[in-house]
Amino acid sequence: MLTKFESKSARVKGLAFHPVRPWICASLHNGVIQLWDYRVGTVIDRFEEHDGPVRGVDFHLHEPLIVTGGDDYKIKVWDYKLRRCLFTLLGHLDYIRTVQFHPNATQFPWILSASDDQTLRLWDFQKRSCLSVLTGHNHYVMCAAFHPSEDLIVSASLDQTVRVWDTTGLRKKQLGGPAGVEGGFPGMTDANGNRGTSAAAATALNVQAELFGTNDVVVKYVLEGHDRGVNWAAFHPTLPLLASAADDRQVKLWRMSETKAWEVDTLRGHANNVSCCLFHPKQELVVSNSEDRSIRVWDVSKRVGVQTFRREGDRFWILAAHRSQNLLAAGHDSGMIVFKLERERPASANGPGDKLYYVRGRELFCHDYARATGGSSGVDVPIASLRRVGQQAQTDGIGSGPRFLSYNQHNPTEGNVLVCSEVDGGCYELITFSLTNAGGSVTDGKRGSCLGPGVFLGRNRFAILDRQKREIVVKNLNNETTKRVQAPLPNVDCLYDGGASGRIILRADDRAVLFEVQSRRVIGELTAPKIKNVVWSPDGSKVALLCKYGVVIANRQLEQLCSISDTVRIKSGAWDVSPSGGTSSKLFVYTTLHHVKYCLSTGDTGTIRTLDNPIYATRVVKDQLFCLDREARSRVISIDTTEARFKLALSNKKYGQVMHMVKHSRLCGRAIVAYLQSKGFPEVALHFVRDPQTRFRLALACGNIEAAMESAFSLEQQQGLDGKARDVWGELGSEALRQGNHQVVEMSYQRKKDFDRLSFLYMLTGDSEKLRKMLKISNMRNDIMGRYHNALLLGDAAERVAVLEASGNLPLAYISANLHGLEDVAERIKVAIETQGGSVEGLMDKVSVGTKKGGRLLQPPTPIIRAGNWPTLAIKKTTLEDLSAADAGEEYEEEEAAPVSAATAGVAAWDDDDFGAPDAGVGGADEGFDMGDDDDMGWGDDLDDLGDEFGDDAAKAAPVDEMAALNEISDDAGFQMPPAGRPPAACWAANSSHAADHMAAGGASSAMQLLHRQIAASDFSALKGSMLACYLGSTVSLPGIPGSGSIIVPLMRNDASGHPGNDSLPRTTSTMRTLVSGVRQGYRFFQTGKFNDAKNSFSEVLSQIPLTIAESTNEANEMKEMLEICREYITAIRIKGAMAEAGSDPVRSTELAALFTHCNLQPVHLLLALRSAMGTSFKHKNYIVAASFARRLLELPDMKSERNADLRMKATKVLQKSEQMARNEHTLNYNENAAFTIDCKDFVPIYAGEESVKCSYSGSTYKGTEMKGQVDLSDGFCTIGVETIGLVTGK
């Protein structure tokens, strides 16, 4: 059994597969109906309107409908798209056992239901009415089902009978035709297999109806043979067979003819009531389940049991089969399982050249791709028939087919194939045949046992894995053992091809090891969880390790190149073998359940196409994928690998090929744009992106001011001058300012109406005339601050005084006029102040003149350069922008196009956008822009236009085209600015997985996430001091020159031999010396009895260890030892505190004293603990434990010294006295002879086999699961019961 999905819920009483989607509906005993996606294992929806258990459920074949029946006597029809119940059918008087839609529900909108009221009912769910009530059973009707193609219904009842009903009359009545008209729906036949009904038969039915009543539905057969009630009955999909399951623990097979039905055979084996049975939809099998907690599979033709699957503790109640896929489902007491009986992956292996060897049924075939004709993938040549092996050799049992196939690529003279299966624990068969006459001379008969697949090591050698000893056994082609090699790892469970002669890949747990058999050395090793297969590239340079949920690409030395993961299972994979195009051995195509995807060694992945059914890839040539389906039939499907080839060409720097594909291929989508941006080629995306917003972002990313400006104008036309358009001009201005193109900055600020920045820009560029225009605009806008600001930048004192006077600040205006020598203005302001009742006396005393702090005339700085843009750094264009620098010799071949040189392709690709043409810039004359030759280079400043909105008629003038003379600055556009260097903090976080490095980089969030994942830290208050120390200690602050900020200098731990560049790592404050000092301080406090201080010291060390980086493996091991020491001493101190609280309780105090001695303490401290425990137990007359403590005390090495002579004498006396008394006064929860750990909460022993949870950081253990999810009491910041990787030390 291959379990595909398993759910946990209340008892499942009804199951139904969706006919198309990967869904299954389960009705539960608690009244809930669950809709599951069994492929991803999630609940899609729940329906909860039934009152009581729901026993029957079914999907409509075409409509989004579900029908359910429950113990509330109701049949409900649900729409799972609307997520509600559409209507309820009432009529049954007792529990409803099963419900089913008619197989042809589009023509016959019928629902069949069976009930404990001893009837079956047929309903029309469109009219929402009952069509017919089928009576005849005299006990509960346990199930009822339509025949897949005929006018028949089968029902099973506890009256020990199975009844078959004929619905021909009802069908004719529903079709509405006269009695003699032939009817039926497509696929329906009568009992004779004839389509329709003859006129004579119709007349006979009418006569019967006249004499004996309705003939809508009549009983055709009554099958009697079971000794107890029948629980289930089912039709065979195609043959005239029935299967029934009953409480007599038997499954019976019945055959039907035109006039009668009879029992064929009885299948015995179940040990309790058989609750359900059905015919397998694709194989001649019967599957049954029972309350004996087992599922059994029976061979219909041999009528014997083939397989049995048991489940401890859960009884099975229901079975369901998928209509088109090889899937079964079973419901039990605690949920359900979706499973397959055997694997459907055909065993195959690539041979030399264009050949594929595979197994179909019991035949080994060679598929020759070279002999492909129109529409076919090649020709199948039979090689040999495979014998059945194992205990099921006579029944062709489930799971006995070949699982692995290996072809000997090292032998050019003859063909050697190893066929391996999992029968009886694993076996192999060696087949040898001639390559020239494949089907003529076949040698077989060489068999043996093995574990997993076999691998050919050379021309005449192959290796298998011994099942018992897990040794690598090397054999020759005569099946004789020549060598036995011990595997380098003890738990090897599979071996694969190593890609070269004498090499194999071993799988052990989640590791793959490349092993050379002759020299017995390990060449390479990597981590790959749940490896399923290994695929080598044609040139042997790369290998793809297919895992259950991912692919790992490595080189020939098994050094990992990339790793990708997926959410669904990986099915197969194949390397590209195209003879041209440059993708051979570089493009890996793999398949999942419903997709074909690709993977490059750079780690780039993508989806190529979707699949209706799973396939198994064997070969990729250009845009064709050769594969095998689940029936082992060779197929060819078309795929489009343009995206993969584009990414491959970009990573290989084949820029001519890249630009050719941009020009001629249909590359589009946000994914490609994002990919090009992430790889640093936004200018390439500009060539096929037409959306103005996206083009604007890309142009900014590559520093193309012209393209960005073009997109900004387009966005402005689309959106108008609202907030979004202004944001666009603001971003363009920022980028232009970064490049030093102040003319574009000026236009951007004008468009955005950013007056303050515009004024400052004019001051920097020395454009006094435009500053005066800005002053005029501020005056028209009544912007007092803007007016004063512009007057200040112009150095116009009179204007500043006028602004102060106009704003009502007369005292300030008087002072300013006096300071700047404007006596007439000052006198006028003085009169105005006195007129308002004020005085100017003392105003000038507030201003100190002639000193440093005194007033002075402010003048704007003189600009160094007034004309043109600022000088910018001349930077070489990228290869993709200046394709003349590309390798002209590179050629790229399309299947139907002539070769095009890279340079030619690149220039042609650029031609469309006119970016590179000197005479056709965005502002070229052919675009119709005005090329004015004003002093401002034809830009036009729009300052007069800005005044229009304030009513200044004199300022109105003809509109100036802002884009005029744009070609004047086109020489600076299109450059890629130098990339900014990475700050040290970014390098630290990228180069390390240690929380201390992330914290030093300022990434508190990522550091806490790492600690949470690695050691389950949840309360970071205890770690706050250590984390802040990491951050503050990783840099040095140096004071800068006066007026500037301090300089932050990063401190690095790997800069001894030179600056590490992007590989830098920070220094951290906490070192091994710090930890050792803390532990020693804790020892001193413990020795002197200062237990609280000792606990604080050890807790401080515990909080420092996660943020300490080990410099060597020895330091890493010492750090882990310190972790255990701190845990043991903290536990001992807490036990000591509990002893003080339990002083009056002799039992508890003796138990705690005993546990105190089991903490892993230093010998000198253990001596103190044993002395205390011996005294406590002796005082309370627990002589047995007192004697054990005395013995342990006397065995300590320190007891031999003279300073412990008195203690040695006391211990000897206690031992003698205890051995005389030889009894414990109290019953203690303590057994020194049994291994145990200490519960760190309640301080009781946890013996082996008892349930417990641990802290993944400190290792503290807690009895039971009560503390799971709570904070550890030893360290104070980690969550208990979370399984993590544990402490990461940095080495």
Burial string for 109-142 (b: 16+ CB within 10 Å, else e) reads bbbbbbbbbbbbbbbbbeeeebbbebebbeebbb
What's the rounded Cα separation, in Å, for the pair 647 and 603? 11
What's the rounded Cα separation, in Å, for the pair 258 and 201? 14
Beta bridge partners of 433: 415, 442
Q: Which helix (H) or strand (E) holds 384?
A: strand 379-385
Beta bridge partners of 319: 330
Q: What pLDDT does residue 396 have? A: 54
Residue in this structure with the two tokens 């035709």, named with its chain if needed: 177
Question: Is the pTM of the predicted complex or chain greater than 0.85?
Answer: no
What is the per-residue pLDDT across 638-691, written as a single tens digit (0 to 9) for each?
A: 888 888 888 888 787 777 777 777 666 666 656 666 676 666 666 665 666 666
Beta bridge partners of 255: 241, 262
Q: Detail the DSSP E strand segments found in 576-630.
A: 587-592, 595-600, 605-610, 616-621, 624-628
Asked whether 25 and 6 are in contact (CB, 8 A), the reply is no
For 359, other C-beta atoms within 10 Å of its C-beta total 24
Q: What pLDDT does residue 670 have? A: 61
- Length of the chain, please? 1291
Q: What pLDDT does residue 37 have? A: 92
φ, ψ of residue 714 in degrees (nearest 5):
-65, -45
Residue 260 three-state SS: coil
What is the number of alpha carbons within 13 Å of residue 397 lying toward its C-beta? 20
What's the rounded Cα separation, in Å, for the pair 494 and 470? 9
945-to-441, 749, 752, 761, 948 alpha-carbon distances in Å: 96, 14, 14, 19, 5
- Tell me which long-range contacts 45-52 makes (C-beta under 8 A, separation of at least 24): 45/80, 45/83, 47/78, 47/85, 49/76, 49/85, 50/74, 50/76
Residue 386 three-state SS: coil
Question: Among 70, 34, 36, which Cα is nearest to 53's?
Answer: 70
What is the number of alpha carbons within 13 Å of residue 348 lying toward its C-beta? 29
φ, ψ of residue 1126 in degrees (nearest 5):
-60, -40
Q: Which parts of the chain have pLDDT scores under 50?
A: 177-199, 202, 205-213, 393-395, 873-876, 882-975
Beta bridge partners of 121: 113, 133
* Residue 999: exposure state from Cβ atoms within 10 A (0-12, 13-18, ≥19): buried
